[in-house]
């Protein structure tokens, strides 16, 4: 019960805050999304395991 009450209070507050900080048409919002996507791309590239073949395996 307490979890439902907390969720009922926190969810609308978080959505309201997001609308205030990130309006619908905003260059700031676009820049945040682009930065997030670039960060994820860099992270994926840096965390990819390097492919190494077995000794003597030439392709």
pLDDT for residue 56: 58
pLDDT of residue 40: 92
Collapse the DSSP code of 45 into the 3-class scheme (helix H, G, I; strand E, B; otherwise coil) and give the result: helix
Give pLDDT, residue 39.
94
DSSP state of 47: T
Q: Could you state, in chain order, the average pLDDT of each consecutive group of 10 residues for the chain (59 residues)?
A: 88 85 76 91 79 59
What pLDDT does residue 2 have?
86
pLDDT of residue 34: 92
**For the residues of 10-36, what is the DSSP string, one character each?**
HHHHHHHHHHHHS-SS-HHHHHHHHHH
| DSSP 3-state of 50 | coil
Q: Which two tokens stand for residue 54?
A: 């077995």
The model carries a pTM of 0.40
């Amino acid at each position: 019960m307490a979890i439902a009450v907390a969720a009922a209070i926190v969810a609308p507050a978080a959505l309201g805050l997001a609308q205030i900080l990130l309006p619908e048409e905003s260059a700031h919002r676009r820049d945040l999304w682009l930065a997030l996507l670039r960060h994820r791309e860099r992270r994926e590239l840096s965390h990819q395991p390097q492919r190494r073949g077995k000794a003597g395996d030439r392709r």
